[in-house]
Structure 1
Amino acid sequence: MTLRCAAYARYSSDLQSPRSIEDQLRICREYAHSHGFTFLEEHVYADEALSGVGADRPGLGRLLTAALSPERPFDIILLDDSSRLARNTKDALTFFERLNFAGIRLIAVSQGIDSDNEQAHVLVTVHGMVDSLYVKELAKKTHRGLEGLMLRGQHTGGRCFGYDSVPVPGTTGKQLVINEGEAAIVRRIFEMSAGGQSLKTITKTLNHECVPPPRPRSDKRFGTWCFTCIREMLRRDLYRGKVIWNSSRFVKTPGTNKRVRRPRPESEWRIVSHPELQIISDELWQRVQDRQKTLMATYGGAKSGGVLIPRSATSPYLLSGILKCGVCGGNLIIVSGYGSYGHYPKYGCSQHFNRGTCSNAVTVRRDWLEGRLLDELQNQVLKREAIEYVLDEFGNHVKNAFANLTNQLAQMRERKQKLEGELRRLAATAAETGPSAFLIEAIHEREQQLRDITDQLLAGGENSVDAHLSDIRSFVTKRLGDLRTLLSGDAVAARKELLKHVSEIRMVPKEGNADVKPHYVAEGSWNLLGSEKEIFAGDTTSRQIRVVAGVGFEPTTFGL
């Protein structure tokens, strides 16, 4: 009886030649013919550009399905060597035992391994260990080579939107250079994000304008912008001229070729500065990162490390995400849109209307609520008299706190003048009589005291308390003027500015009676300077002083 042969071939990387498959099959055919076997061309199985570490290979799957089927269309499986079947000991032994149990003979031609041989199990184990070690050693060598490229300022691979990869003269390596056309798109994306636009809004805008997207991978169907791409671009340190390498590693899921990213400890990161690759200014980069942090802190419902922030961040309604139920603390959301008089969206407690877990059933029309709150906000909290009062009180507190320090400063200045006089006299004496150990020691002692006092003195003039208070007053006045303009404009931009000053507005429901309907009372605190860092004119350091109004604004939406 002539034995029937199937064959399996594989190569690992798309950088290898597809002819490797032909060479492996040629060896298998020659072996079958020399041993009088029948080589079945219809049972040739192959996997191209797939690693042998994983078992989820289409060609291998079809081979095993045919081999383990009741019909058993062949008797022998020919391989060039055992590494074509698997690159780890566990999978190699599993395949060997399953095929052996099914009565299928397995032959690795180049290694002389035949499952009919008593030593086959030992040989498969040994070669499986060698193949597994080869993969691990190859990974180490590849990692070391990439690290060397990075340290030499060369590119370690991968496409980077905004840059072109060009050859490095005299070497086989490549380096990145800025692509000005793509760099302009990158800058626009950062400006849009810093301006308050969401990931989805940026994505839709770019696709609507047919802005060229990054080239998609071969396994991706659509060559368009997507919000995950925008998110990763906003996080990419390369755009600010900083290369961070070795921050993560990829681990293969056991039994598959799927890779999972795992972070590495920061102690293993390699960080190199490349100013020539900077596309985004430090100021714009920081604005975007601060906005992302603010959004994640404000909309706490977002999962850590998630792609999108909650819908309220980009809602067309000005107070979405800001209004909180005074009973349960949940968000007030739009719970109804149409009434007997037309389209009038109403705010209500999300926990009551979605889950029934809150007793607050009061609703209020959005247009009435926003109009009343903004009127009260501008008339009571943002009026000039209230601002002047708060700033005056703040200034008094600061001056009182520095009162004792002012006395100390006067004493230190007096001591400084005395030391300077003593130093002049000691220097004159040393010039007349010559230096001595006693004079030198006395001079050094007084110079040290003088340096200590100088370090402790607070400068006056431009950096005095009064000057800082004047800066703060001018900043607040300008900021509030801008806010009044924003509140009457785009809801997303207005909410972004509003969140710098108020983190939440608690809506406390009040019961109605025969004369008054159920209504809300609004409570909250206003941050005059805002929660984000700002830079005062003429000053290069951001001020961390925060002023919160001593009393909350409480405009009542009485009878709404």
Structure 2
Amino acid sequence: MRAVIYARYSSDLQNASSIEDQIRVCEEYAANKGYDIVNHFTDAAISGVSLNRPGIQMLLQSAATFDVVLCEAMDRLSRDQADIALVHKTLNFQNVKIVTLDDGEVSAMHIGLKGTMSALFIQQLSDKTRRGLRGKVENSKSAGGIVYGYDVVKAFDGAGNPIKGEREINQVEANIVVRIFEDYVNLDKSPKAIASELNKEGIPSPTNKEWAASTINGNRRRGTGILNNELYIGRLIWNKLKYIKHPVTGKRQSRINPESEWIIKDVPELRILTDELWQAVKDKQKALDAKSDSYTPKRRATYLLSDLIKCSSCGGGVSLVNSTQYGCSRSRNKGTCDNRKTIRKTIIESAVLNAIKSELLNDEIVQIVVNEYNKHISELANSHRQNADQNKAEVVKLETEKNNLIDAIKKGAPPEIINSELISISERLEKAKLKLVKPKLATIKGYGIADKFKDYLSALDADSLEGEAKLAARSLIEKLELKPSGEADLYLNPWALIKKRPAINSESLPLVAGAGFEPTTFGL
């Protein structure tokens, strides 16, 4: 009978010699039973709470090549109830038996009972660990981990046993912490600028690698990053976050616990910062948050000129002061501007559109559009020719990978494990095939495109502009200033329409911005 041996050890509980020990006792058992060992599968230093392990995956994918899986105990295969059931179901489909040194041949009853016991073991181990960590925190000790600005103190009690959880301030690193806070507040430097300076000076980061903005800024809600660590003001916070492993990937994800579950202890001997400096940073962060929130989400403009007109006297915004008239908002609402001029909405919209047409409907601008379009088409055609061979090779490679995965499923590999990778490869394959399609690209001769361009501009009308057409027209306006004299200065950006207008000949034209126009002044 063909048999394979599976062995695994967890880095936190065992060591590398554990795998050798497991294989040795399994080989002795196999010799007594007359099994023919055809392969070994191992996972070193990997927890058994997830199937996201290379050894177990290879075992499942090759299940059609053997008759027995031999392991020391069932929890070597998995400690998760659902996963061990899936392993048993997959192997049973291939008529493969699971045999352990503890229980012999594993049945459905073993799966249910042992799976439950393993799950309870994991939960109990987690609970005991957390109780121990909480006990340390309640005594104002560290629950683990290294924090920048502090050293772990190695101390022993009267019996020679190590005293764990002691910390002391590392004065060199503490000075860097103070500097980061002062630069951020007093010198108004960004985390990116601070990190850049520290790297230039060769100052080691908390990980002894290069500093990054995220190391300093972190996440304010989660309390991560130099600027958010309350230990620097003598407050030890534990249980702010909990970590849960994703049921499919096995990767840890953090979640914030309710504040009522946090354990907070005062440790004044570990204070590095003054309350004033800490609060100054919090105030700046709060102001930045408020500023950020004020810009998102952006609403879509209601009218053609909404938010585009500025007052030439005060620089403030010009808005509708009633249903038909535009006027200076500061003058109207605060009385801080002397520009009391109001302009009828229909008149200024019509004047702006007429100015756009008169400026852009000329042969010079149209010819620029045609030339840039032809240039862009030529670049696309050359790019397609240059990448043709590479794209063909990519298609062949992806088709082979896709067929291999399909064959693996046909041979009995669990679809639940392979499905996500198969979907990913299929999506990449479709994109790669699209690159093989030769685009229908033709340069423009004559004025076919020019006529469509002119027709589009000629059709601009404030009352009928909606959706993307309105956005395209608005994008042409670089600046529009209302003067107390009743005139308005209009600065146009002619290239914006080429970038954002509806496609001409089913091709968009992402062109490099060119020179603009002198301001157009018109009386209203």
Task: Provide the TM-score with structure 1 as the length reference.
Answer: 0.53
Paired residue type of 2:65: P
Partner of 2:112: 125
After TM superposition, the structure 1 stretch with the greater mean CA deviation from structure 2, 82-91 or 5-14, is 5-14
Contact 1:242 / 1:275 at 8 angstroms: preserved in 2?
Answer: yes
Partner of 2:26: 28
Deviations 1:258-306 (A, max 9, x none): 11111111111110011111111111111111101001101226889xx
Partner of 1:228: 214
Question: SS of the counterpart of 1:91?
Answer: helix
Question: SS of the counterpart of 2:90?
Answer: helix
- Provide the C-alpha distance between the structure 1 equivalents of 2:234 and 2:123, rounded to a whole number of angstroms: 33
Does 2:302 match 1:287?
no
Contact 2:15 / 2:45 at 8 angstroms: preserved in 1?
Answer: no
Aligned residue runs from structure 1 range 73-92, under 5 A: 73-92=65-84
Deviations 1:391-422 (A, max 9, x none): xxxxxxxxxxxxxxxxxxxxxxxxxxxxxxxx
Aligned residue runs from structure 1 range 301-312, under 5 A: none
Contact 1:51 / 1:257 at 8 angstroms: preserved in 2?
Answer: no
Structure 1 residue 256, shift from structure 2 partner: 3.3
Contact 1:352 / 1:360 at 8 angstroms: preserved in 2?
Answer: no
Partner of 1:531: none
Does 2:489 match 1:517?
yes
Paired residue type of 2:40: V
Structure 1 residue 517, shift from structure 2 partner: 2.8
Structure 1 residue 150, shift from structure 2 partner: 1.1
Change (3 A) 1:358 1:242: farther
Match of 2:86 among 55, 79, 94: 94
Paired residue type of 1:185: I
Contact 2:72 / 2:100 at 8 angstroms: preserved in 1?
Answer: yes
Paired residue type of 1:80: E
Aligned residue runs from structure 1 range 345-360, under 5 A: 356=472
Structure 1 residue 190, shift from structure 2 partner: 1.1
Change (3 A) 1:355 1:83: farther
Change (3 A) 1:241 1:324: farther
Contact 1:53 / 1:256 at 8 angstroms: preserved in 2?
Answer: no
- Provide the C-alpha distance between the structure 2 equivalents of 1:36 and 1:326, rounded to a whole number of angstroms: 91
Contact 1:162 / 1:183 at 8 angstroms: preserved in 2?
Answer: yes
Change (3 A) 1:93 1:264: same
Aligned residue runs from structure 1 range 71-470, under 5 A: 72-112=64-104, 114-115=105-106, 120-170=107-157, 171-172=161-162, 173-194=164-185, 195-215=187-207, 223-231=209-217, 232-300=225-293, 326-327=318-319, 356=472, 361-363=477-479
Identity of aligned residues (%): 36
Contact 1:246 / 1:269 at 8 angstroms: preserved in 2?
Answer: yes
Point out where structure 1 has 5 or more consecutive residues left out of the alignment: 217-222, 305-322, 330-350, 365-508, 520-558
Change (3 A) 1:264 1:358: same
Q: Which has the larger radius of gyration?
A: 1
Contact 1:45 / 1:59 at 8 angstroms: preserved in 2?
Answer: yes
- Provide the C-alpha distance between the structure 2 equivalents of 1:518 and 1:352, rounded to a whole number of angstroms: 22
Number of residue pairs aligned between Structure 1 and Structure 2: 320
Match of 1:54 among 14, 32, 50: 50
Question: SS of the counterpart of 2:293?
Answer: coil
Contact 1:247 / 1:268 at 8 angstroms: preserved in 2?
Answer: yes
Point out where structure 2 has 5 or more consecutive residues left out of the alignment: 218-224, 298-314, 321-327, 329-466, 492-520
Structure 1 residue 356, shift from structure 2 partner: 4.4
Change (3 A) 1:181 1:136: same
Task: Provide the TM-score with structure 2 as the length reference.
Answer: 0.56
Change (3 A) 1:106 1:162: same
Change (3 A) 1:237 1:15: farther
- Provide the C-alpha distance between the structure 2 equivalents of 1:224 and 1:258, rounded to a whole number of angstroms: 25
Paired residue type of 2:32: S
Change (3 A) 1:515 1:356: closer
Change (3 A) 1:208 1:123: same
Relative contact order higher in (CA < 8 Å, ≥ 6 apart): 2
- Provide the C-alpha distance between the structure 2 equivalents of 1:196 and 1:164, rounded to a whole number of angstroms: 29
Backbone CA RMSD of aligned residues: 3.2
Deviations 1:411-463 (A, max 9, x none): xxxxxxxxxxxxxxxxxxxxxxxxxxxxxxxxxxxxxxxxxxxxxxxxxxxxx
Structure 1 residue 513, shift from structure 2 partner: 8.6
Change (3 A) 1:74 1:357: farther
Change (3 A) 1:31 1:511: farther
- Provide the C-alpha distance between the structure 2 equivalents of 1:36 and 1:177, rounded to a whole number of angstroms: 61
Deviations 1:104-155 (A, max 9, x none): 221122232x14xxxx111111000000000001110000000011112222
Change (3 A) 1:160 1:303: farther
Question: SS of the counterpart of 1:299?
Answer: helix
Structure 1 residue 75, shift from structure 2 partner: 2.0
Partner of 2:2: 4
- Provide the C-alpha distance between the structure 1 equivalents of 2:102 and 2:473, rounded to a whole number of angstroms: 71
Partner of 1:549: none
